[in-house]
Structure formats: C-alpha cells, structure tokens
C-alpha cells in the first residue's frame, strides 16, 4: 500500500464560476492505474467526482484525460510511474473540449467532425478505382492500418495546437479517418477526388500546423499527422493543390529543385501571386523587413553542386512533392 496525494480539476458548468483544483489523500495499492485510483476515490471518499470509463482495457477510449499535463488513457496509466516521473498526480479533463462535469468532456462537437468526413465507404461495384479489387488486399490495407486502430478517445484533439486557436478545425482524429477512406482502393476515383475537394476547404487538411503532438499522445499509434500529410500529398497529386497552402509545398519543392536551397524572397511570391488580396496583405510585413534590413531578395544563384540536388530529385519518390 502507499499513501498518495492527487489533485483533480473539478468543474460543474452552470454552478461553478471557474474550475478549481481539489486535493485528495488516498491510500492505494501500489500497482493501481489512475482509473482504478479514481474509482476507489469515488467509492470511498467523494461520490460527487465525475469521470467516464467503460472497458478498463484501453479499448473503448472513454477514460482519456490529461494526467500531469499529457493526454492519456487513465486505465493504462500506472500511478506509480506517474509519481516517479512527476512527483505528483494532477488530473484534468481533455483540453479543447467543453466540460460536462469534472473529468467528463463533451464529445458532441468531436463526433460531429468525425461525421463530417463521411466515415464510410461509397462502394460502387461498377466504378471502383481498381475493378479487380472488390475485396481489400493486404497491401492496400497496410496503407491505413494505423488509422483503423483509432478508438476515438479524443487525446489527439485535446493535444492539437491548431484546434486550440481554431475550434472549427476538423481535427486530427477526423482527418485520419478521412485518410482511411481516401486510401481505400474500393471507392471510385471520382469519389476520392470529391472527398479531397471537401478536405482542402478552410478548417481542413491545410490547417494542421504539424506540431506532432497528436502523434505523441495517441495511445494506439494512429499517427494522425502522418495521415494528414498523406492527404495533402494526394490532394496535390490529384491537381487540388491550388491554394496558398498547397502552393507553399509545390513552390518550396520547385525552388529547392532549381536552386538547391530555400529562397525566402521567392517563396511568398510563388505562393501568393494568384491571390492578390493575400499578396497585398503581406506587403506591410515585407516593408517592415526591408526597413530592418531583413528582406531577402528573390534573385539567387543555384548552390554549388546543384547537379547533385537535381539528381536526387530524379530518383523515384522525389520527383513530386
Ligand atoms: Fe476504455 Fe480506458 S476505460 S479505454
């Protein structure tokens, strides 16, 4: 047995003005998980404490919460390990989700976003991308098997930097699910293009800032950010890269191919020349940079040894962004 102190962020919207941290002291077996500790706490000390769980086996995703600042499944997080690493135990609800009570996050907006990517197959037997592939073969499955492991716990959405500043962003879990269907060869090609067309809209794939936090916190190794990058690549290859964000990538690759390094003067021009309003918007910044001597002119010579860079681009897989 060990006696521990833990702090839980308590909040009842509607009756509490602000969340408050409440400290508890409990005696627990040293091999308990955070979820088992919360259950014991609720049964023995404070029946008003609210949290959500079901399977207790890292399957249902219900018990995701922030434990010592990181998104984790409470049922697979050992108290002893947390105490050894952090010295204490601080538990709060997922970030970027409204709170229903204490540790119970409102998953409603999250599910709505998952629903918005049409998370099911539009199977058309006469229009499959590969007519021989009415059943999924192993090779095709490998493209999205990580994504299929998602249990929709919401850990990635809680850790997402982009969602924090832009609550309308579709978010990592929903976009990873979208990749699962874009990568599925059983749908018709036009269906795939239609999906991608919706995903490149504002609040879609280009709003990810690639902080990688979703990958770090995911308890199932779904790697949502990788799925988003694959969606971007597909969109560009399907001719849907004509947005400032899409052109950022194509311009970047084109410049490096030609000059062997990034040209920070040319890059914004290549991205924005088709969007005069956005181009005008960056002029004050360019002016201020020029005043401070930090404006980079767009005319550069290629680096020495550029032929080696171009050779690299000629190898398979680097010809296209
Ligand atoms: Fe189901 Fe933790 S209780 S994942």
pLDDT at 125: 54
The reply to whether the predicted model has a pTM over 0.75 is yes
Mean pLDDT per segment of 10 residues, for the chain of length 321 residues? 94 93 95 97 96 97 97 97 95 97 97 95 63 69 85 98 96 96 83 91 93 97 95 90 82 90 87 82 88 85 91 70 47
By the 8 A CB rule, do 236 and 246 touch?
Answer: yes
3-state secondary structure of 185: coil
Cite the beta strand spans of 58-150 per DSSP E: 64-67, 70-73, 89-92, 99-101, 104-105
CA of 213 relative to ligand 1 center, distance in Å: 21
Instruction: Tokens 């860079």: give the residue.
Output: 309
Number of neighbouring beta carbons within 10 Å of residue 166: 15
pLDDT of residue 313: 87
Ligand 1 centroid – CA 105 distance (Å): 14
Residue 130: count other Cβ atoms within 10 Å of its Cβ.
11
Alpha carbons 160 and 209: distance in angstroms, whole number: 9
Q: What pLDDT is stored for residue 184 in this prediction?
A: 87
Q: Is beta strand 89-92 parallel, antiparallel or unpaired with respect to 99-101?
A: unpaired
Distance, in Å, from the CA atom of 47 to the CA atom of 111, rounded to the nearest integer, reads 29
Instruction: Tell me the sheet residues that pair with 91.
Output: 8, 67
Rounded CA-CA distance 184/54 in Å is: 31
Return d(Cα 100, Cα 106) in angstroms, integer. 6
Distance, in Å, from the CA atom of 65 to the CA atom of 48, rounded to the nearest integer, reads 18
**Ligand 1 atom with the shortest distance to the CA of 63:** 2
Contact criterion met (CB below 8 Å) for 122 and 194: no
- Rounded to the nearest angstrom, the distance between the alpha carbon of 288 and the centre of ligand 1 is 52
Length of the chain in residues, anyone?
Answer: 321
143 in Cβ contact with 195 (< 8 Å): no
Q: Distance (Å, rounded) from C-alpha 290 to C-alpha 111?
A: 47
Per-residue model confidence (pLDDT) at position 299: 84
Apex CA 81: angle with CA 76 and CA 85, to 5°? Answer: 130
What is the dihedral angle through the alpha carbons of 206, 209, 210, 212, rounded to the nearest 10 degrees? -130
Which of 32, 33, 37, 55 to mutate to test ligand 1, by most ligand atoms within 8 A of the CB atom? Answer: 55
Give the tokens for residue 212: 């990688």
Element holding 3 (H helix, E strand): strand 2-10
Residue 64's DSSP bridge partners are 73
pLDDT at residue 221, rounded to an integer: 95
Whether the CB-CB separation of 274 and 294 falls below 8 Å is answered with no
Query: What is the distance in A from the centroid of ligand 1 to the CA of 80?
Result: 19
Look-up: residue for tokens 């020349």? 273
Query: Which pLDDT score, from 0 to 100, does residue 294 have?
Result: 85
Mutation pick for ligand 1 pocket among 56, 107, 220 (CB with most ligand atoms within 8 Å): 56
Q: Are 53 and 34 in contact (CB under 8 A)?
A: no
Kindly list the protein residues whose Cβ atom lies closer than 6 A to any atom of ligand 1.
53-56, 58-63, 73, 75
């Amino acid at each position: 047995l060990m006696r521990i102190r833990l702090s839980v962020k308590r909040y009842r919207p509607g009756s509490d003005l602000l969340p408050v941290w409440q400290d508890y002291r409990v005696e627990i077996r040293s091999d308990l998980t955070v979820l088992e500790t919360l259950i014991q706490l609720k049964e023995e000390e404070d029946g008003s404490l609210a949290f959500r769980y079901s399977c207790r086996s890292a399957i249902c995703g219900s018990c995701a919460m922030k434990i010592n600042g990181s998104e984790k499944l409470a049922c697979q997080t050992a108290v002893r390990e947390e105490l050894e690493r952090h010295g204490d135990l601080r538990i709060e609800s997922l970030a970027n989700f409204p709170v229903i009570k204490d540790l119970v996050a409102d998953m409603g907006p999250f599910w709505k976003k998952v629903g918005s990517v049409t998370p099911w197959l539009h199977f058309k037997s006469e229009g499959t991308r590969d007519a021989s592939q009415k059943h999924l073969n192993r090779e095709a499955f490998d493209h999205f098997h990580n994504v299929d492991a998602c249990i929709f716990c919401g850990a990635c959405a809680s850790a997402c930097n982009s969602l924090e500043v832009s609550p309308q962003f579709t978010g990592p879990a929903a976009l990873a699910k979208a990749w699962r269907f874009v990568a599925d060869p059983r749908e018709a090609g036009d269906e795939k293009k239609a999906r991608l067309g919706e995903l490149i809209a504002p609040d879609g794939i280009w709003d990810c800032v690639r902080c990688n936090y979703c990958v770090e916190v995911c308890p199932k190794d779904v790697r949502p950010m990788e799925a988003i990058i694959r969606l971007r690549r597909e969109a560009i290859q399907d001719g849907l890269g004509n947005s400032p964000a899409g052109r950022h990538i194509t311009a970047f690759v084109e410049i490096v191919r030609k000059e062997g390094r990034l040209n920070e003067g040319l890059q914004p021009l290549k991205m924005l020349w088709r969007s005069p309003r956005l181009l005008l918007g960056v002029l004050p910044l360019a002016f201020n940079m020029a005043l401070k001597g930090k404006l980079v002119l767009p005319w550069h010579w290629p680096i020495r040894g550029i032929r080696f860079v171009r050779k690299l681009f000629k190898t398979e897989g680097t010809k296209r962004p």
